[in-house]
Structure 1
Amino acid sequence: MEGYLHLKNGEKYKGTFQTNAVNQTASGEIVFFTGMTGYQEVLTDPSYKDQIIVFTYPLIGNYGINNEDFESKKPHVAGVVVYEANKDAFHYQSQHSLLEYLEKWNIPLISHVDTRAIVKNIRQAGSMPAVLTIKETAQKEDFSLVKDKKVAKVSERDLQQYGSGDYHIVLVDFGKKESMVDCLLERGCKVTVVPYNTEFETIQNLAPNGILLSNGPGDPKELKEVLPTVEALIKHYPTLGICLGHQLSALALGAETSKLSFGHRGANHPVMDKKNQKVIMSSQNHSYVVVEESLKNTGCTARFYNLHDGSVEGLSHTEYPLQTVQFHPEANPGPSEGQYIFDEFIENVKANYGRVFAHA
């Protein structure tokens, strides 16, 4: 069926709906992902909650959907835009086609649109509200995005426990990817996942040896109520912050964040590690960054930098065993070069086992 992608700046793109979810108007912030593979992980990454995702690689869906690579229990995107969607799947692990999977969750997919032109538009005008519809014209109210706390929608509601390792890590779930839990389990940890708004005293009663602050969707400044807890956790336990967790750590210690024009989303972003004096390729998905000039007097120093735009990609602290990264070291999808971050975190946990920090 013929359909349209409308952008808030007035641009319109004609295409073909490939799923039956066409009788609804799907609205969301439009963003683009530059990876050649990994569409299953992208669709189920909670950080993409309520966004319309444009895949820049021209053929999406050719290896289908399997039961191994889900990053959460369901897809979180509002809609999908591709040049061509493969209706068949060719992979020994494939259980469903991409179209079957999106049909199941009533998510619209539009194909045969000029994704190159869309991406150029976003790069020039920035991310913006967009609409997928069968209507040739869009109404002004269609571009009104719901102002809600997306983290509350994607965070686990109940405590969950995994593994039985020597070191107990509490993962504060702002919209975690399952591969983060896997990376900790592979390193011999016991992992307890708690909801994003869990009080510090509740976490303290779990007797953790370390804290992981996860990724998640939306503006970190919408989570001001959790900053006192984040600050207390940093001051009491070895802490690793990833993506949103990185941004919240910076805010909790007095720094600032700002929004990028069109964000970083892809599996091929070069990042400089100043400590180790090496460049790694990283997987990324975020709209917001920590403002380097605001780190003064916070005790935080920038360790990682994005080599495309020079933005801060990770922090260390002069007093507390805090490390943060803006990119995804678990890297699903993407390269695995950043997984040493988890090794460093576990070494931090071991080195600070039982320690009471000076100003905790």
Structure 2
Amino acid sequence: MQAILALEDGRIFRGEGHGAKGECYGEVVFNTSLTGYQEIFTDPSYAGQIVVLTNPQIGNYGTNLADNEANRPYIEGLVTREFSPISSNWRSQQVADEYLERFQVPVISDIDTRALVRHLREHGVMRGVISSIETDVAKLVEKARSIPKVDGTDLAKVVSTKGRYEWDDASDPLRPDAPATGDPASKLHVVAYDYGIKKNILSMLARENCRVTVVPAETAAEDVLALNPDGVFLSNGPGDPEPLNYAQENIRKIAGKAPLFGICLGHQLIGLALGGKTYKLKFGHHGGNHPVKQLSTGKVEITSQNHNYAVDPDSLNGNDVDLTHINLNDQTLEGLRHRSMPLLSVQYHPEASPGPHDSNYLFKDFRKMMDEWKK
């Protein structure tokens, strides 16, 4: 079937439609990862977004249950150069086309994704529509312009779990015999706020010999502390961090009473809770190849990233906060640590999924911080 991608500035791309027939709406962003498209599909941080994948061949190794980061895809739609109708991998359980159709996710392929990405880099992310049912481009452009903006919208409580649950699964589907790396003599209890949490984050915490209790995004700090956690984790998630006033207030109440570790949206919320400010990037960081420098050692990590907002380092109190990591592409803040309280956070994804493993040590740092706090 034929499909059209229409951007709010009037730019039109025509291609082939796959997945679900119909329309989808969202903020159009691009991801530069070479592999791991299923993890991208199912990352809740992509709620409200249409994702352009710069790798020209997508779908060629199919999909399987083990690679899901959530129970369903969260992308609003997919844009790609080539979309394979078959899968060639022994792990594949369903072709990507059927998988996305099952969850009613529209796909457009056979467009010039290089031209589209250059357009987004030059003009910034913008709202868009994918349609396989409407041929009037003027109507589609008007629909794109009428989509509510992500700025100022709380998407975390939309994707968050509705109830508390326990996670104790430390298994790695690619290394089923790999042992847990945490201290086997001391099992710690981590309470994880779900703002859009990925399954591999939970598994990485479990591999550090942690029992994890996952709670909804709006859970009160008093209820979290009543669970007697050895540490509190603040997850990744979609959208603008500023509207999450409840999360910022909870972080302020927990800080100093339990160790805190934040990733991505969790990092931004920590920055706001400490009195800092956030701002929106022109086209965000989405990919598995972003260089980040660890300021204390000079070591450079290749990292997995997925965010449209960043913490302004100049807005933080230098007497309270150490800046720990910086992005070498654009000098944005990638990590911080509090000087007097057990608190650390990073903007990127040390659990990868997909991506490099250079930053796995951060889960060990969190484990060490909890062990020292407990002593």
Taking structure 2 as the reference length, what is the TM-score of the superposition?
A: 0.91
SS in 2 for 1:236: coil
Greater mean alpha carbon deviation, residues 73-82 or residues 227-236: 227-236
Alignment-mate amino acid for residue 16 of structure 1 = E
Residues of 1 paired with 2:68 and 2:168: CA distance? 19
Cα deviation code 1:258-301 (max 9, x no counterpart)? 00000000000000011232001000000000001101257122
Residue 143 of structure 1 deviates from its aligned partner by 2.8
Kindly indicate whether the alpha-carbon contact (under 8 Å) linking 2:6 and 2:141 is maintained by their aligned counterparts in 1. no
Alignment-mate amino acid for residue 248 of structure 2 = L
Kindly indicate whether the alpha-carbon contact (under 8 Å) linking 2:23 and 2:106 is maintained by their aligned counterparts in 1. no
SS in 2 for 1:89: coil
Residue 332 of structure 1 deviates from its aligned partner by 0.5
Taking structure 1 as the reference length, what is the TM-score of the superposition?
A: 0.95
1:30 maps to which of 28, 31, 48: 28
Aligned 1:97-176 pairs, distance under 5 A: 97-134=95-132, 135-137=135-137, 138-146=140-148, 148-163=153-168, 166-176=187-197
SS in 1 for 2:33: coil
Residue 139 of structure 1 deviates from its aligned partner by 4.5
Alignment-mate amino acid for residue 200 of structure 1 = A
- In the alignment, what sits opposite 1:14? 14
1:64 maps to which of 58, 62, 65: 62
Give RMSD over aligned pairs: 1.3
- In the alignment, what sits opposite 2:178? none
Moved over 3 A (4+): none
- In the alignment, what sits opposite 1:206? 227
> How many residue pairs are counted as aligned between the two chains?
352
- In the alignment, what sits opposite 1:90? 88
SS in 2 for 1:267: strand
Residues of 2 paired with 1:245 and 1:287: CA distance? 13
Alignment-mate amino acid for residue 25 of structure 1 = E
1:324 aligns with 2:345: yes
Residues of 2 paired with 1:226 and 1:67: CA distance? 31
Alignment-mate amino acid for residue 169 of structure 1 = V
Residues of 1 paired with 2:113 and 2:156: CA distance? 29
Residues of 2 paired with 1:139 and 1:292: CA distance? 37
Aligned 1:254-265 pairs, distance under 5 A: 254-265=275-286
Kindly indicate whether the alpha-carbon contact (under 8 Å) linking 2:10 and 2:141 is maintained by their aligned counterparts in 1. no
Greater mean alpha carbon deviation, residues 308-317 or residues 293-302: 293-302
- In the alignment, what sits opposite 1:312? 333
Cα gap change, 1:111 to 1:195, in 2 (>3 Å): same
Alignment-mate amino acid for residue 161 of structure 2 = E
Residues of 1 paired with 2:145 and 2:158: CA distance? 21
SS in 2 for 1:68: helix
SS in 2 for 1:35: coil
Residues of 2 paired with 1:6 and 1:119: CA distance? 14
Residue 117 of structure 1 deviates from its aligned partner by 0.3
- In the alignment, what sits opposite 1:81? 79
Kindly indicate whether the alpha-carbon contact (under 8 Å) linking 2:24 and 2:129 is maintained by their aligned counterparts in 1. yes
5+ long unaligned stretches in structure 2: 170-185
